[in-house]
Chains A and B, each alone.
Chain A
Amino acid sequence: MREGEADPGLYDFKAWRGRPKLTWPDGKTCAVWVAPNLEFYELDPPANPHRKSWPKPHPDVVGYSHRDHANRVSHWRMADAMSKHGFPGSVSLSVALCDHIPEVVEDANARGWEFFSHGIYNTRYSYGMDEAQERAIIEDSIATVKRATGQTIRGWLAPALTHTPRTLDLIAEYGLDYTCDLYHDDQPTDVKVASGQLTAIPYSLEVNDHYGFFIYNMSPREYADTLIRQFERLAAEGEDSGTVMCIPLHSYLIGQPHRIGPFEEVLKHIAADGRAWIARAGEIVDSYRGQVDG
């Protein structure tokens, strides 16, 4: 990015109208990817001077144990529902989860899910890191996921969405292909980086389950309806040029007993619709690059 300038210079402006037609495999109009956040939060993390880890004094029992529900209970519920309806995950991973609870990581790997890094812990933030420190967490992420899963990570979602001005340049330099941190479009976009090539894949805050339940205060059925409306619109507009819909999830939210049933109906709806290319993040980036790089 152009550090210190009013326009960070992340990408070129490109109007939604009149774009070249993107097409997805088999004539599908909307690429749908599901992004479960598989995370580990620390009970008593060190303080980052730029952001508090927990809103309450440690131990924040509800905050911590709510998130621990993910690894004990709700990951399994969510993952089974996804597999049942043919949705692989592209995982936003706190890579320390590979050390703490390899059961969850191995399960995701066995289901054919793709991993990208969401930092070491979701209680360690990038704010204030110097370049060497930031390189250390990128190198740690690449090595840890490789060791635990055999996969080479291709993407990045900053830990707890904390960035520095050099993050995008660095992940491109390390050969990562995509970032999930930019929310300016419903199609993949080229990001301007110092070296290498980086694609912004549409993630979503707006239909993220955390936003649905805690920013917009939706009921489980309202959230499910929101996802279906999001899909219907993007699938229709994708007739002109293929769109991308991401469903970012936290199992400790979507996997609660009052939410998982309505959510499963969404997966059933999208899978049965016929217009969805149900894919992993890397496949979407590859398809996009194959069409624009030609």
Chain B
Amino acid sequence: MTLDPAYLQYPKRQRGMDHGHYPYSRFDTRPPVHWPEGKSVAIWPVISLEWFPILPDDEPFRAPGHMQTAYPDYRHYTAREYGTRVGLYRLLDAFEAVGAKVSVATNSAIAERYPEIVEAIIAAGHEIIAHSTDMNGTIASGLPEDDERALIAQSLDTLERVSGSRPRGWLSIARSQSFNTAKLLAEAGLEYMCDWVNDELPYRFATEAGEIINIPLNHELSDRQIVNVQQQSADSYVQQMQDAYGWLAGEAADHGGRMLPMHLTPYIMGLPYRMDVFEGLLRWLADQPGAWFARGDAILDSWSAQQ
């Protein structure tokens, strides 16, 4: 069978990107970014706080970490709940021990079900990032636009009601978007999203409803990718984060501020046998002279003020 002649036509083969969301921008020759107090590397911890209904929804897709066995999947339902009941508090204590403020990407169902968690997060000075409704709230093309708009509104309204302030940032489940998502996020008044992983500093992302900033949350430097997907040890995770920090601190000396995202999942990193080395990593990072532990909104504000 011969391919349709259109397969060899390239209507978007042009200077720049094949879409209108952002222009090409070379990273290493941009004007340097300066973080507060002359720090060189912004370390951005993001904890994903998720509630998995025991009845999984496959539309538009089943979230990573969701139920796997025939109903009722006690195994995965409770193991995810372990992260929320136990692992999260270990992580919060670990960050408190080094004086770090972090972002917590929170399903709004967590706020509804466990408002005391949100209270503890806010009281500790951390930031809530909106992270959909629950782990059935996945987004991809095929989700009707009105449904997606309603999902975003439900997440933001609930988190605002429970936490007392409206989230400024958004993280989609699995960073998965439809062609409408960025526009709907901007339309909902969100200032930044964390889904696109094509850069290592914030950048402007154009939509039909105006601009939103994308702060790239590196999916490779996550406990999910390194420990769950690639099946490496927590010790290896720590080594990789230290190697990343070392490289970025070296670049910062010549090129200006750098950013090290640290994406964590309570039911992965918050296990007893992983916590000691993770706490060791936090202490090591806190000891680096150039390290600035920062919430996403603090990175956004610092970066925006320099643009």
Contact = CB atoms under 8 A, between A and B. Distances in A.
A61 B196 contact: yes
A96 B26 contact: no
A153 B282 CA distance: 49
Nearest to A260: B247
Given A43-B18, A49-B1, A59-B141, A258 B221 contact: yes
A259 to B, nearest CB: 8
Interface stretch (A12-20, A129-137, A182-190): A129-137
A61 B7 contact: no
A129 B2 contact: yes
Contacts of B226: 219
Nearest to B141: A57
Contact of A71 (B24, B179, B230): B24
Contacts of A96: 10, 13
A261 B13 contact: no
A65 B17 CA distance: 11
26 contacts: A43-B17, A59-B177, A59-B179, A61-B177, A61-B195, A61-B196, A66-B197, A68-B198, A69-B197, A73-B199, A99-B14, A99-B15, A102-B15, A124-B8, A128-B1, A128-B2, A217-B232, A219-B226, A219-B236, A219-B239, A256-B220, A257-B244, A258-B220, A258-B221, A258-B240, A262-B243
Interface residues of A, number: 52
Contact of B15 (A43, A56, A100, A219): A100
B135 to A, nearest CB: 17
Interface of B, helix, strand, loop or mixed by DSSP: loop
Interface of A: 40, 42-44, 46, 48-49, 56-59, 61-62, 64-69, 71-73, 76-77, 80, 96, 99-103, 120-121, 124, 128-130, 133, 136-137, 213, 217, 219-221, 256-262
A258 B24 contact: no
A64 B17 CA distance: 11
A72 B177 CA distance: 21
Contacts of A48: 3, 7
Given A61-B176, A219-B236, A73 B247 contact: no
Given A46-B7, A137-B8, A65 B239 contact: no
A59 B25 CA distance: 21
A257 B260 contact: yes
A62 B240 contact: no
A106 B244 CA distance: 28
Contacts of A128: 1-3
A62 B232 contact: no
Given A46-B6, A100-B13, A260-B247, A220 B196 contact: no
Given A69-B198, A133-B3, A221-B243, 6 more contacts: A73-B198, A100-B16, A100-B24, A128-B3, A217-B231, A261-B246
A133 B140 contact: no
A77 B1 CA distance: 43
B232 A103 contact: no
Interface in B280-294: none
A64 B141 CA distance: 15
B220 A65 contact: no
Contacts of A76: 26-28
Nearest to A99: B13
A61 B27 CA distance: 20
B199 A69 contact: yes
Contact of B199 (A62, A67, A72, A137): A72
A121 B179 CA distance: 21
Contacts of A217: 229-232
B248 interface: yes
* Nearest 3 A/B pairs, CB to CB: A68-B198, A258-B244, A65-B198
Interface string B195-207: 1111110000000
Interface in B23-38: 24-28
